Chain A
Amino acid sequence: MATTIITGRDIHFTIDSDDFDAQATSATLTVDSTINTYQTLDGKAYYTTDTQGTFAVEMLADWGAPSSLCEALWTAATSAPQTPLPVVFVSKTGASFAFTVQPILPSAGGTAPDAQTVSLAFTCVTTPVLTIS
């Protein structure tokens, strides 16, 4: 089987239907499992009791820009902090994850010589559902 390489440039995602392609430099979906281990007479047995997803995004800040994504995230987190936001995360065309995240407030500011950046770590409200096409 030939080696397949996909890169961060294959990623595409939307949060609350807003496209982040123009600003995002990194996006990572991680789902951690809580696994209980039982020592039985036959050896170890494992049982998964829970999963928790985290969606980490690194992006260039766009405060003040028309249709600002930072401002949209801020507005969502302050106006409806308990309303999960829908996310569609495509790691590569044909492999799409759908889930919701709890709104969080983006940071603002940075160092003088550099582009302002924002690091976001969303907590997934629903377990990501993978759609393969």
Chain B
Amino acid sequence: MTIEADIRTPLQTTLSTIAANVYNGIPEAMTSPSIVLVPDSPYLESTLINGSTTKVKINFLVTGVVGYSSNAAALTNLEDLMIEIISTMPAGYVVGDVSSPTPLEVGTGKFLTSDLQVSTYYTD
């Protein structure tokens, strides 16, 4: 049992129904549109009793990434992507807020991104 196998990859699989590249971790190269699972801070929280079995609350940012060639189109695309992510989130996740859009430049690529806060629980 690992967080990668039991939490991140299943969430990636669920979100893969959205028309975007979905990564269960931070990718080496950015593409758009894409969805990236990023560890939030704090990432792992010990909130449950009985530490003899390790149980943690896991906080993720689900980052939506769209191309940023024009302001209006990029914002609309990002809104659509974030709404799709929220509606696709599986049961067992606390779904929080979406951050304000932020421009991102990676190499020659220009992107617009937003983060959705989500959390769930994992037992080792």
Chain A interface residues toward B at CB < 8 A: 7-13, 20-27, 60, 113-115
Known: A22-B55, A22-B123. A11 touches B49 (CB 8 A): yes
Residue ID in chain B nearest A19 by CB atoms: B50
Interface centre among B48, B49, B50, B51 (most CB of A within 10 A): B49
Query: Would A11 and B50 count as touching, CB distance under 8 A?
Result: yes
9-residue interface stretch from B2-10, B14-22, B93-101, B106-114? B93-101
Query: Would A9 and B53 count as touching, CB distance under 8 A?
Result: no
What CA separation (Å) do A114 and B95 show in the bound complex? 8
Query: Would A24 and B94 count as touching, CB distance under 8 A?
Result: no
What CA separation (Å) do A132 and B48 show in the bound complex? 24
Q: Can you report 23 residue pairs joining A to B where beta carbons are below 8 Å apart? A: A8-B49, A9-B46, A9-B48, A9-B49, A9-B51, A10-B50, A10-B51, A11-B50, A12-B50, A12-B52, A13-B49, A21-B48, A21-B49, A21-B50, A21-B53, A22-B55, A23-B48, A25-B49, A27-B49, A60-B121, A113-B94, A113-B95, A114-B94
Residue ID in chain B nearest A23 by CB atoms: B48
What CA separation (Å) do A113 and B50 show in the bound complex? 26
Query: Would A24 and B96 count as touching, CB distance under 8 A?
Result: no
Those 7 A-B pairs whose CB atoms lie nearest each other, nearest first: A9-B51, A21-B50, A11-B49, A12-B50, A24-B49, A115-B94, A25-B47
What CA separation (Å) do A60 and B52 show in the bound complex? 19
Chain A nearest CB: distance from B52 CB in Å? 7
Query: Would A26 and B94 count as touching, CB distance under 8 A?
Result: no
Other-chain contact of A113, B55, B97, B123 (Cβ < 8 Å) = B97
Query: Would B97 and A26 count as touching, CB distance under 8 A?
Result: no
Q: Which of B76-96 contact A (CB under 8 A)?
A: 94-96
Query: Would B48 and A25 count as touching, CB distance under 8 A?
Result: yes
Chain A residue numbers with a CB within 8 Å of B53 are 21
Residue ID in chain A nearest B123 by CB atoms: A22
What CA separation (Å) do A24 and B55 show in the bound complex? 11
Residue ID in chain B nearest A112 by CB atoms: B95
What CA separation (Å) do A11 and B51 show in the bound complex? 8
